[in-house]
């Protein structure tokens, strides 16, 4: 399981500006933050959360199983590797500008150990009314049975908020990020939520660049029986120009919004033409 309301969370970088800010918000949401980690600052407290010098110490004292990383990019490799080596089930990397080679090492380590890694440069994960592991708005929606899986951050907030405003509940929000090399992919998240008993409908928010949506379409064709709805951003993007994420660049015929939409449509995915259409398409299914 990725995360649930019983997940015990460590904040790596809790004494930094961003770590402190988001720790308070996550605590207010109800997230069980049991420890913080900042090397050299063990023994301190942040909002009543004990700080340890390393992840291993934090686990020994708190039995933590989840980590969220708020350290600068140059320290992310060592922080996330420490989390993975300590056996943390889910490591969520919020940090942006993490070097690609660093992420290659982290993704390989996560696979080697059979652990979950999400990010970098992502908003994190949310199970509404239960746990917030990330930086997304706290008031987007309430709990329900629609999972939202997105490469985009801000756009996914708008769409998820629109879903919530329509009276539709969300079983999970997963912001996987859009960097070229990252942890959980869209295919992996779709495979996971296709088996989730609390999810009845899957919403995908994709964007131009690379072929992840096309690969996800192949997965859906043979393995997913639940209804899937998708919105693909970047229909007007010019070829060769990066739009937003490092991975959002069109090269020739690969990675175009048109190609992604066709691949998804061909396997029965319902396509929303605008972000605000997504709740209407959901209601047509419900």
Q: pLDDT-based confidence at 21, cuts 50/70/90?
A: very high
pLDDT surpasses 60 at 251? no
Residue 278: both structure tokens together: 């997504």
Q: What is the pLDDT of residue 50?
A: 98
Q: What percent of the chain has pLDDT over 90?
A: 87
Q: Out of 22, 142, 245, 280, which one is annotated catalytic? A: 245
Answer positive or negative: Cα dihedral of 75, 176, 212, 159.
negative
Q: What is the pLDDT of residue 214?
A: 95
Task: Burial-class residue 112 by CB neighbours within 10 Å (0-12, 13-18, 19+).
Answer: exposed
Q: Is 22 a catalytic residue?
A: no
Q: pLDDT-based confidence at 209, cuts 50/70/90?
A: confident
**Cα–Cα distance for residue pair 76/78, rounded to 1 Å:** 6
Residue range 131-157, pLDDT digits in tens: 999 999 999 999 999 999 999 889 999
**Which has the minimum average pLDDT: 33-47, 100-114, 172-186, 254-268?**
254-268
Q: What is the pLDDT of residue 234?
A: 78
On whether the CB atoms of residues 208 and 178 are closer than 8 A, the answer is: no
Q: How high does pLDDT run on average in the chain?
A: 94
Full set of structural domains in the chain with CATH = 9-118 (3.40.50.720), 139-285 (3.40.50.261)
Q: Residue range 30-45: average pLDDT?
A: 98
Number of neighbouring beta carbons within 10 Å of residue 155? 16
pLDDT surpasses 60 at 219? yes
Q: Residue range 10-31: average pLDDT?
A: 98
């Amino acid at each position: 399981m990725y995360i649930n309301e019983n997940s015990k969370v460590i904040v790596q970088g809790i004494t930094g500006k961003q770590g402190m800010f988001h720790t308070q918000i996550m605590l207010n949401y109800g997230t069980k933050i049991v420890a913080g980690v900042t090397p050299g600052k063990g023994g301190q407290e942040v909002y009543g959360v004990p700080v340890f010098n390393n992840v291993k110490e934090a686990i020994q004292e708190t039995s933590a199983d989840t980590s969220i990383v708020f350290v600068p990019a140059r320290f992310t490799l060592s922080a996330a590797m420490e989390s993975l080596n300590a056996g943390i089930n889910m490591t969520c990397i919020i940090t942006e500008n993490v070097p690609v080679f660093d992420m290659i090492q982290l993704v390989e380590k996560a696979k080697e150990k059979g652990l979950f890694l999400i990010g970098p440069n992502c908003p994190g994960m949310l199970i509404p009314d239960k746990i917030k592991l990330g930086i997304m708005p706290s008031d987007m929606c309430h709990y329900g049975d629609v999972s939202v899986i997105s490469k985009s951050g801000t756009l996914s907030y708008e769409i998820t908020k629109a879903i919530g405003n329509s009276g539709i509940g969300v079983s999970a929000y997963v912001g996987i990020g859009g960097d070229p090399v990252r942890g959980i992919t869209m295919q992996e998240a779709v495979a996971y939520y296709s088996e989730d008993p609390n999810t009845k409908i899957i919403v995908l928010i994709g964007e131009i660049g690379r072929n992840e949506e096309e690969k996800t379409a192949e997965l859906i064709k043979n393995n997913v029986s639940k209804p899937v709805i998708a919105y693909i951003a970047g229909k007007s993007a010019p070829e060769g120009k990066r739009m937003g994420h490092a991975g959002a660049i069109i090269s020739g015929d690969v990675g175009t919004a048109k190609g992604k939409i066709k691949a998804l449509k061909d396997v029965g995915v319902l396509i929303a033409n605008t972000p605000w259409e997504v709740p209407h398409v959901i209601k047509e299914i419900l």
